[in-house]
Chain A
Amino acid sequence: MDENKANDEHPFLVAELPTPVIRRLRSEQGESDRIRLAVRSDLAPDGQFGEQWLLIDEQTLWVIENSGSQALLRYRYALDDITHSKVERCVGNALMQVTVDERPQVLLHYTNDLMDQFGRVAHYLCQRAEDGPEMPVPDPNVNNNRCLVCGRHLLDSTTTICPKCVQGSKVARRLVDLARPYWGTMVLIIGLLVVGTALDLMPPYLTRVLIDDVLQPGGQAQLLVWVVLGLLGVRVVRVADTVVTNWLTTNVSARFTAGIRAKLFAHLRTLPIDYFDKNQVGRVMTRINTDTNELQGLVTQITRFALNIMLVIGIGAVLFAMSPSLGLYVLIPTPFVIAAALLYYRYMRPHFKRVWISRWRLNAMLSTFLSGVRVVRAFAQDEREESRYTERNDRLLDNTLQVDLAWAKFFPLVSFAFAAGGLIIWYAGGKAVLAERITLGTLMAFIGYLGMFYGPLSNLTQISQAMNRFLTISQRIFEMLDEKPQARPEVPVVTRGLDGEIVFDRVSFGYDPYYPVIKNLSFTIKPGEMVGVVGHSGAGKTTLINLLCRFYDVTSGSIRIDGVDIRDLPMEEVRREIGVVLQRPYLSRGTIAENIAYGRPDATREQIIAAAMAANAHDFITMMPEGYDTIVGEGGAGLSGGECQRVSIARAVLNNPKVLILDEATSSVDTKTERKIQSALDELVKGRTTIAIAHRLSTLYNADRIVVLNHGRLEEQGSPVQLMDRKGAFYNLVQMQSQFASLEGVVASV
């Protein structure tokens, strides 16, 4: 038998197929050796957990149900008959559908765990239907959403290694690298900690001297003042040591985390836009703010652990050295202390968490109420809101009381455990003193050391938790630092002086590669031409812009400006030549002048004013108390939507780009403002290649050409007049809107 090629590609498949399925396949004229793709669903056709297999060979697709003892053929289709395929989310499961003879046919359901695998199969079937049987068969079971180390499903989509597999040593090494500038200080801190530990060990020892050698009948009374002075000296040095240690620790941890924050932000700048789509703003903020803060807390905590370890070992050694037998007694309460500390986590933490959650709920409700107070009043719902608030407030009160109650029960119990440990020593030590095996001073020193022993010991029970947390957070931070920056071309190919001809050449693209948003799109925009892009929402208009600005790169095909693939142009070049006016303008914090000169900080005042005039913004700016010096953006003066928009248009004017993109620039303003913006835009588009996306088709009246998109495909294109004559998709859109417009007219005339 000749070696099967497909088998070589996916050698694991056949081994994985259950025997009943293989047998069923044979009886249906299939050969397991020829199977090129196999995916297992975890649901049976009746909607219970079960097993179904979707198998594909060169020509055929099978769905076979395996009930354990036997397998049943559910579906069989020739691949050539399948014209389309897709997956569809249900609730708690999803389904896969194929289209055969224009009839949709659901093949099977599967749980959400398998979304990726079946998504890949559906994508492959679609591609095969479009590009023919030469399409390479993908391996749908390759899962990039799994931990690189153990292969478990990754739960946090922002990481590539699961927390369990975080390699402590590797992370630690990188942390050490990052901490290199602080080495000197850290060595100093460790030295101070050792000194501190030694100092802590001294007072009980001096107490022993005091009792045994000084305060005895016939003792050396002249030593009394020296011993007391010694005790005072130890305390003073200890205070100084603590102050310096704390200061240094805070200093190092704060600088260390500030350094990491700076690194993270610097790295953010280089990341491709899709990183920001995949990671919600909140999550990135958490990474940069909360995680680094926690890291700082943990660094401090770890210093405390280090001190405690030294103390526990030091005290333990001293205790055993002073009296080995009493030292053993000290160990008796140790398990209780550790148990109490662990119990604390188990018992108290849920209580604290409950309080935290009910406080969050109360605050959330309050903030919703405050931001929506007009609506509440308008619907006369004050009373109901009040009772809702009261209800949540009562809940918080309940939970707070419960914590206090739990604490009131827990704390005395733990104190008792500690005190009981002391009592054992009093008894055993007392007997030893009476039998004159040890001196009274030794016993007193022992009691003194004991008081210092259990605190650090119980603190050390949290060490593994803290270390885990520390490594996980560090890992997350490194993950973000390791995120690949957007690819940049090595050599700039083209210099300045673009004409502005844009060619979309068989462009396909999907944010998720399995769900293309732009499909095989081709059209050309001539230099200086104004093209309006229209279509229903979801047609791919904004995606087109994202591709042109290179926020994303095309999946296949190319976009060329003046004959050069934009992927071969330096990013800065592309962005400099393209001016964008977005639906929701972004103004950074600063003066209006700074915002207008955002792309060209070296612009003169004349240029700024001229740009503002061209954008119809000069008048309202000069009327403001601080004119062009008005602070806008985060926390600044509240400009209206139309005003912001005109500032952003002035910014685009000043940038003087060859290509101008208007993405729904006038969609969120009233008609009067829209006219103002429109006249500003009319000025701006002169002599530039312009792509305008608009919902209100009236704003495209002066477009040279209209491109109509429908579900990522080019539906029709031509001049507005041509398209109106053709009575196609554009005509229909216009009809729909003019009905609206006449409605608006009626409303306005009332």
Chain B
Amino acid sequence: MQADYGTLQLNYLDPNAVHFCRQGETIAMTSDDGQSYPRVVLRNCFPMDRDSRYLSVRDATSEDYDEIGIIQDYRDLPEADREAVATEIALFYFVPRISRVRSLKNEFGFLYWEVDSDKGPLEFVMRDNVIHYVRPVGPDHYMLIDVNRARYEIMDLSALDKRDQKLVRRYLSL
């Protein structure tokens, strides 16, 4: 069903009429009506939902990344296309999930983190300003934003071990 608010309509792409193909690091799209885009950019409209719905497909060759259309749920794509899309999204959203806090300290208004994540061990620095750089996503689910605007997630604070939890709660004033 198409969402209809007067003249505003979402331009849904038919998952069976578009085709995605990765060439190296680039993802291209062709559609059955003969359109071909050598490189498209995929953006999740609701990235915090972490699902496959509302994927905005944009033309990377246009100056303003014009939207080509929205895929309502990319799981409806044929298998090969779906995989190409999933890989692209995984590359685009590089948000390590913190599984262990090795060390956390505050120096001169900055928090220095040393953590293990699903992407491997890493270190980052964030401003000691909880209001702006720690975003509560859900119960015990937080997103941290570091000085480089990179993002990290604590998916479930209560699932970390007791020491880590205490550390995080103390420094983030949770």
Q: Give the interface of A toward B (CB within 8 A).
A: 43, 45, 47-49, 74-75, 88, 90-93, 95, 97, 103-109, 111-113, 115, 153, 155, 163-164, 350, 353-354, 357, 360-361, 468, 472, 711
Contacts and interface: CB of A to CB of B under 8 A. Distances in A.
Contact of B60 (A49, A93, A104, A155): A104
B127 A111 contact: no
A91 B50 CA distance: 14
A92 B173 contact: no
Interface in B42-58: 47
A92 B25 contact: no
A731 B94 CA distance: 44
A103 B96 CA distance: 31
Given A48-B120, A111-B94, A113-B148, A106 B127 contact: no
B5 interface: no
Nearest to A356: B173
B148 A115 contact: yes
B151 A92 contact: yes
Contacts of A105: 23-26, 39
Contact of B173 (A49, A108, A354): A354
B95 interface: yes
B101 to A, nearest CB: 16
Contacts of A711: 63
A383 B122 CA distance: 45
A91 B151 contact: yes
Given A92-B93, A95-B91, 7 more contacts: A92-B151, A93-B150, A105-B25, A153-B147, A164-B107, A353-B173, A357-B130
A357 B41 CA distance: 38
Given A49-B119, A92-B151, A155-B147, A108 B95 contact: no
A49 B91 contact: no
B38 A104 contact: yes
Nearest to B148: A112
30 contacts: A43-B94, A47-B87, A47-B94, A48-B120, A88-B60, A90-B92, A90-B94, A91-B47, A91-B92, A92-B93, A92-B94, A92-B151, A93-B94, A95-B25, A97-B39, A103-B39, A104-B26, A104-B61, A105-B23, A105-B26, A106-B26, A108-B25, A109-B25, A111-B148, A112-B148, A115-B148, A155-B110, A155-B125, A164-B107, A468-B108
Nearest to A74: B24
A109 B94 contact: yes
Instruction: Indicate the size class of the contact surface on chain B.
Output: 35 or more
A353 B109 CA distance: 13
B170 interface: yes
B149 interface: yes
B38 to A, nearest CB: 5
Nearest to A105: B26
Contacts of A43: 94
Given A104-B61, A155-B127, A468-B108, A45 B25 contact: yes
Among A104, A113, A115, max chain B CB count under 10 A is at: A104
B91 A109 contact: yes
A47 B90 contact: yes
Given A105-B26, A112-B150, A91 B95 contact: yes
B125 to A, nearest CB: 6
A111 B150 contact: yes
Contact of A106 (B39, B131, B148): B39
Among A92, A112, A350, A354, max chain B CB count under 10 A is at: A92
Contact of B93 (A91, A112, A353): A91
B43 to A, nearest CB: 9
B152 to A, nearest CB: 8
B61 A106 contact: no
A43 B25 CA distance: 12
Nearest to A113: B148
Contacts of A111: 94, 148, 150
Among A47, A97, A361, max chain B CB count under 10 A is at: A47
A472 B61 contact: no
B63 A92 contact: no
Contacts of B41: 88
Contacts of B95: 91-92
Contact of A472 (B47, B87, B108, B173): B108
A108 B131 CA distance: 34
B173 A47 contact: no
Contacts of A91: 47, 92-95, 151
A392 B60 CA distance: 43
Given A90-B91, A109-B25, A109-B94, A49 B130 contact: no
Contacts of B108: 163-164, 468, 472
Given A91-B95, A164-B107, A361 B131 contact: yes
A468 B108 CA distance: 8
Nearest to A90: B92
Give 4 closest A-B pairs by Cβ, nearest first: A112-B148, A163-B108, A106-B25, A92-B94
Contacts of B127: 155
B151 A357 contact: no
Nearest to B90: A47
B110 to A, nearest CB: 5
Contacts of B38: 103-104
B113 to A, nearest CB: 13
Contacts of B24: 74-75, 105-106
A689 B149 CA distance: 44
A63 to B, nearest CB: 9
A93 B90 CA distance: 11
A92 B91 contact: no
Nearest to A358: B173
B16 to A, nearest CB: 26
Contacts of B92: 90-91, 93
Given A91-B95, A360-B131, A107 B119 contact: no
A111 B148 CA distance: 9
B159 to A, nearest CB: 22
Interface string B123-143: 001010011000000000000
Contacts of A350: 170-171, 173
Nearest to A711: B63
Contact of A357 (B23, B107, B131): B131
A418 to B, nearest CB: 26
Nearest to B41: A88
Nearest to B91: A47
B118 to A, nearest CB: 9
A363 to B, nearest CB: 11
Nearest to A112: B148
A115 B146 CA distance: 14
Contacts of B47: 91
A163 B107 contact: yes
A217 B46 CA distance: 90
A49 B25 contact: no
Contacts of A108: 25
A255 B64 CA distance: 54
Contacts of B130: 357
Contacts of B152: 92
A404 B152 CA distance: 33
Nearest to A472: B108
Contacts of A104: 26, 38-39, 60-61
A163 B128 CA distance: 14
A584 B1 CA distance: 44
